[in-house]
Structure 1
Amino acid sequence: MTSLPLTIRHELPADHAAIERLHERAFGPGRFARTAFRLREGVPQDAALSYAAHVGTFLVGSVRVTQVSAGGHPALVLGPLTVDPAFEGRGIGAALMNASIESARAAGHDLIMLIGDAPYYARFGFRPIPPEQLVLPGPANPLRFLALELVEGVLAERRGAVTPLRQASA
């Protein structure tokens, strides 16, 4: 992995501002128009599945996971996964991914989706979702719409819209 004194832990509220600055540097203002952002907009990330990476007190990476509905069934959307450019290539992204995936599996979730680079995410078991099986709330390259089944065969049971899972108001 890395020889850095790296700490991977659940994201804390105190990490929020540093993570937002990291997202701004990595993705720029155009991130708000992306389809993946639409799934997360106004919905808090799942604190039990979202992680931050630190070297000392310096935040060097983050992965967030949000609960969504996929064809009327609960599912997860992973992202963004972000590593500070100065720390790329040191296994930090993989460590964040593995922590998040294992936490989702342990919590009994059955499906994780993301929009991302298929060759990178394939090493974690993500595969393209068949075209038109699940419909995102905006445009996305179908080769980049990926899923990881935490329960074998669950993806075949999911058809329809992928929508944010908003909490009911009191």
Structure 2
Amino acid sequence: MPLAIRPARQDEAETIREIHMKAFGEEEGPSVSQLSVDLLADETAEPRLILVAEDAGEAVGCVIFTNVQIEGAESVAGSILAPLGVVPRWHGQGVGAALVQHGLDLLKSRGVDLVLVLGDPRYYSRFGFRAGHGIATPYDLPYPEAWMALEFTPGLLDRVAGVARCATMLSAPEHW
């Protein structure tokens, strides 16, 4: 059976926690897996999109997109990708890329204007994410080049500037 990507179900908090715990390991796993579960219940994360990848009924990856507002550009519909987790034995098999692309396609079809991510530029640039835009993070970053945006409307990032305001659970300094 090929890899399937589907929306997460309401009763999958523990499955989502497990995916992120395995994906991020002992050092980062506890905080990232807790964040993933907290985002499920955080009303300020709406509208959110949570996708699960599974193979033969086994959940092997998860991506979460949550609402983000741009201070000074409130009319812009934004989303932030965080976190993305893939069970280690599935690394390098395209699970993460499939989750991200599926999510981006759904968000674009739903009228989202832009998506933000704090991640590895070598990975996320393949989807069209880029640094060097006018949207600031809520906190200073040690690696500002990892703060990237993807516009669905050409030229939008040239016109939009302001501070990103994320869901309450994602706004904690330790997640930046």
Decide: shared fold, TM above 0.5.
yes
Partner residue of 1:164?
166
Partner residue of 1:18?
15
Partner residue of 1:147?
149
Amino acid of the residue matched to residue 51 of structure 1? L
Partner residue of 2:127?
124
Partner residue of 2:136?
135
Q: Distance in 2 between matches of 1:15 and 1:57?
A: 13
CA displacement 1:36-92 (0-9 Å, x = unmatched): 98xx69334645x32100112211001110011013333110121111001111111
CA apart distance, 1:20: 1.2
* Amino-acid identity (%): 30
- How many residue pairs get matched? 156
Amino acid of the residue matched to residue 68 of structure 1? V
CA gap 1:143/1:157 in 2 versus in 1, 3 angstroms: same
Q: 1:36-75 counterparts in 2 under 5 A?
A: 42=42, 43-44=44-45, 46-47=47-48, 49-71=49-71, 72-73=73-74, 74-75=77-78
CA apart distance, 1:28: 2.0
Q: Distance in 1 between matches of 2:45 and 2:18?
A: 17
Partner residue of 1:90?
93
Partner residue of 1:28?
29
TM-score by length of 1: 0.80
CA displacement 1:132-152 (0-9 Å, x = unmatched): x32222232210000111111
Q: Which runs of 4+ in 1 moved over 6 A?
A: none
SS at match of 1:50: strand
Asked if structure 2 preserves the Cα contact closer than 8 Å seen for 1:115 and 1:146, the reply is yes
Does residue 6 of structure 1 match 2:8?
Answer: no
CA apart distance, 1:10: 1.0
What's the RMSD between the two structures over aligned residues? 2.5
Q: Which runs of 5+ in 2 are unaligned?
A: 169-176
Partner residue of 2:109?
106
CA apart distance, 1:113: 0.4
CA displacement 1:84-140 (0-9 Å, x = unmatched): 00111111111101110100111111100000000111111111133xx32222232
